[in-house]
A and B are shown apart, each in its own frame.
Chain A
Amino acid sequence: MYERHILICAGTGCISSGALEVRDALGEELEKHGIKDQVRIIMSGCHGFCEKGPIFIVYPDDIFYCGVQKEDVAEIVEEHLVNGNRVDRLLYQDPVSEERVNSHDEIMFYQKQMRLALRNCGVIDPENIDEYIIRGGYIGLKKALKMEPLAVVNEVKTSGLRGRGGAGFPTGMKWQFANSSTGQKKYIVCNADEGDPGAFMDRSILEGDPHAVLEGMMIAGRAIGADEGYIYVRSEYPLAIKRLRTAIGQAEQYGILGENILGLGFNFKIKIKEGAGAFVCGEETALLASIEGKRGVPRHRPPFPAVEGLWSKPTCINNVETLANVPLILRRGAEKFASVGTEGSKGTKVFALTGKVNNTGLVEVPMGVTIREVVFDIGGGIRYGKKFKAAQIGGPSGGCIPEEHLDLPIDFDSLTAAGAMMGSGGLVVVDEDTCMVDMARYFLNFTKNESCGQCIPCRLGTSQMYNILEDITEGRGKPEDLDLLEELAWAVKKGSMCGLGQTAPNPVLTTLRYFRHEYEAHVYEKRCPALVCKALLQYSIDQEKCIGCQRCAKECPVDAISGEKKEPHVIDQDKCIKCGACYEVCPKKVRAVQVLSEGLKQNEENRSCEEGCKCQS
């Protein structure tokens, strides 16, 4: 028995913030104080609060330290573990009340969450199968093995679980199709090809709770009659792959995976296929081609993979988060799972909350909570007191939801009706300083580059749309471009062969729908209201405000600024490359450098500085 357990988050985010150095320092300090045998160090999966990492929790005291660095460890050991006094300065500080809190239960970021798919992430050591079993692991599998395959299918159908990878297709129905397909050989494929920029939901589950995914795959195998499974995971997830391999090895050793599982006559083996990181390989038929060693491009459906999939055998493809939910459904019952969420969207959804919010990280919420709750309660609102502009939901295939829809419930049907989609769970929050036209251009650039090029609507359509958006953001937009852009977007959406092309226009269509005024400002007035599009900006120096400190002239990379010391300076517009360096260094009290967009006189006093801005020095 240990007197204390210390959990250090070993998700990729916390590791990059120094979690491994913290672990090493902790080991040394425990040794130094002679208490190494009394304290157990657990390197857990992601706690979700990446903004505040590395996370360091002391049990049974339940003290949540955040932002811990190796230099802090000696104090934690000396003060907390030896003397019994918590280290207040490392506790989470509520940004509103400014009070320090002890436990994660008291932190707003966690209070509105419901962690089902992430139930073990940040709780167990993902490389220890015993901990997974203690937390109820593999009980769902045991139940499934005692049931008839169709009964397992029906249990999942009753739960109302829908695929978490993007389209939200009912999982039980997909299993039923695969179950009823004829053939001796069938496959289960776990789609872990998480490609949305900024998304890390699946990676966190694989890193933090790999056995949940293995168990989900085995239950799916039982349901459809498959004896083999593949996990298709991108090779840029090395930690996830390492932990999956460890978990597979342990499960095999325990007789839970392989031949005659748990002595009940069920055979199942799991292989890992590392992908090269092509976004289109997240599309199920492209993924299957990639596993087969072919170029990862989609094919026409039907036949659907449930009928003719991997090596032409019936194949059921499920996303990581979907599979992580399955053991819970079998263990706790379909009704319990279905009691969470909305009529059409049961359970929870994990989101990678990023962008201009105070609390970025991984959040899991019951279906039906509003965007406002996620952004303002869990996310802690917009950074630097700025104004919310939109939430981009569903990654590059998703759409932008504006402020007037902040109370929209997050579920499959509501998001689709609003022109967005659940997607795999990327949620990027943007503020008033974001140009929505530029944002649409950014996402379209991504999908254009990731298009496999196989079908014309996607290959040429996304390129043409990108060209138009580039024209608009660079001041060459024509009035007729807006209608042309919309027409093209619908053509690409309707004419493309796979989900990549069918959803690529969503950011364009939703920004045209909700932020058309910004497009019109770019096209008709040649101005960018958010002051983002460089071609539409002009930097100038207010002659009456300039004190001639020469900071701007020294900082300018192209020597476009001239002026004598203590005399007003001027910017040579022909030389200026609009990098904004002069604006950054102009003293805040002076604010002589101004950024303007044609036709718009921006009041620069209202443009507050971000943390670390050099002008305050």
Chain B
Amino acid sequence: MEHFIDHCCEKCFNSKEKPCDVFIECCLEGPLCHESESCKKAREAIINKYSHGSAFREH
């Protein structure tokens, strides 16, 4: 999972054709539709990759 649009596993269905209504929240706090530590870590990895400076998420 390189970007939020990539599926963390086969349970994620979000796409342009079938958008998920909790997609935005799921990017930051997900996964929201299933329990998975690895899927959670995949999202955290994206957030950590792009976050710089202590105030990046404090806005």
Residues on the A chain within 8 Å of B3, using CB: 130
Tell me which residues from 86 to 136 in chain A have a Cβ below 8 Å from any Cβ of chain B.
119, 123-125, 128-131, 133-136
> Are A255 and B20 neighbours in the complex by a CB distance under 8 Å?
yes
Residue in chain A with minimal CB distance to B20: A263
Could you tell me which B residues sit within 8 Å of A by CB distance? 3-5, 14-21, 23-25, 27-28, 45-54, 56-57, 59
> Are A252 and B56 neighbours in the complex by a CB distance under 8 Å?
no
Given contacts A2-B49, A5-B52, A59-B52, contact A133 B20 (CB under 8 A): no
> Are B47 and A134 neighbours in the complex by a CB distance under 8 Å?
yes
Smallest beta-carbon distance A170→chain B, Å: 26
> Are A262 and B24 neighbours in the complex by a CB distance under 8 Å?
yes
Given contacts A130-B4, A253-B16, A254-B5, contact A263 B21 (CB under 8 A): yes
Complex CA distance for A60 and B56, rounded to whole angstroms: 11
Tell me the interface secondary structure of chain B in the complex.
Answer: loop
A142 at the A/B interface (Cβ < 8 Å)? yes
- Complex partner residue of B53 from A59, A128, A138, CB under 8 angstroms: A59
Against B, the Cβ 8 Å flags (1 = close, 0 = not) of A467-485 are: 0000000000000000000
Residues on the B chain within 8 Å of A262, using CB: 19-21, 23-24
Complex CA distance for A260 and B15, rounded to whole angstroms: 11
> Are A134 and B50 neighbours in the complex by a CB distance under 8 Å?
yes
> Are B50 and A131 neighbours in the complex by a CB distance under 8 Å?
yes
Query: What are the nearest 4 A-B pairs in CB distance?
Result: A255-B19, A5-B52, A59-B52, A263-B21
> Are B24 and A252 neighbours in the complex by a CB distance under 8 Å?
no
> Are B16 and A254 neighbours in the complex by a CB distance under 8 Å?
yes
Could you tell me which A residues sit within 8 Å of B by CB distance? 1-2, 5, 7, 40, 42, 59-60, 62, 119, 123-125, 128-131, 133-136, 138-139, 141-142, 252-256, 258, 260-264
Residues on the A chain within 8 Å of B59, using CB: 119, 135-136
- Complex partner residue of A252 from B16, B28, B46, CB under 8 angstroms: B16
- Complex partner residue of A263 from B4, B18, B50, B51, CB under 8 angstroms: B18
Residues on the A chain within 8 Å of B4, using CB: 129-130, 133, 254
Complex CA distance for A119 and B56, rounded to whole angstroms: 10
Residues on the A chain within 8 Å of B53, using CB: 5, 59-60, 62
> Are B24 and A142 neighbours in the complex by a CB distance under 8 Å?
yes
> Are A254 and B49 neighbours in the complex by a CB distance under 8 Å?
no
Complex CA distance for A7 and B51, rounded to whole angstroms: 12
Complex CA distance for A128 and B51, rounded to whole angstroms: 12
Complex CA distance for A204 and B34, rounded to whole angstroms: 40
Residues on the A chain within 8 Å of B48, using CB: 1
Residues on the B chain within 8 Å of A130, using CB: 3-4, 27, 46, 50
Q: Can you spell out 15 A-B residue pairs with CB atoms less than 8 angstroms apart?
A: A1-B49, A5-B52, A40-B49, A40-B52, A129-B4, A133-B24, A135-B59, A139-B25, A255-B19, A255-B20, A258-B16, A262-B19, A263-B18, A263-B23, A264-B21
Smallest beta-carbon distance B8→chain A, Å: 14
Given contacts A1-B49, A253-B5, A254-B16, contact A134 B21 (CB under 8 A): no
> Are A60 and B52 neighbours in the complex by a CB distance under 8 Å?
yes
> Are B28 and A133 neighbours in the complex by a CB distance under 8 Å?
yes
Residues on the B chain within 8 Å of A129, using CB: 4
Residues on the A chain within 8 Å of B5, using CB: 253-254
Smallest beta-carbon distance A209→chain B, Å: 12
Residues on the B chain within 8 Å of A124, using CB: 50
> Are B24 and A139 neighbours in the complex by a CB distance under 8 Å?
yes
Complex CA distance for A260 and B46, rounded to whole angstroms: 26
> Are A134 and B24 neighbours in the complex by a CB distance under 8 Å?
no
Residues on the B chain within 8 Å of A119, using CB: 59
> Are B24 and A260 neighbours in the complex by a CB distance under 8 Å?
no
Residues on the A chain within 8 Å of B54, using CB: 60
Complex CA distance for A7 and B53, rounded to whole angstroms: 11
- Complex partner residue of A260 from B19, B45, B47, B52, CB under 8 angstroms: B19
Residues on the B chain within 8 Å of A128, using CB: 50
> Are A7 and B52 neighbours in the complex by a CB distance under 8 Å?
yes
- Complex partner residue of A142 from B16, B25, B51, B56, CB under 8 angstroms: B25
Residues on the A chain within 8 Å of B57, using CB: 134-135
> Are A134 and B20 neighbours in the complex by a CB distance under 8 Å?
no
Residues on the A chain within 8 Å of B24, using CB: 133, 138-139, 141-142, 256, 262
Complex CA distance for A613 and B52, rounded to whole angstroms: 43
Residues on the B chain within 8 Å of A42, using CB: 52
- Complex partner residue of A255 from B16, B49, B56, CB under 8 angstroms: B16
Given contacts A128-B50, A262-B24, contact A123 B19 (CB under 8 A): no
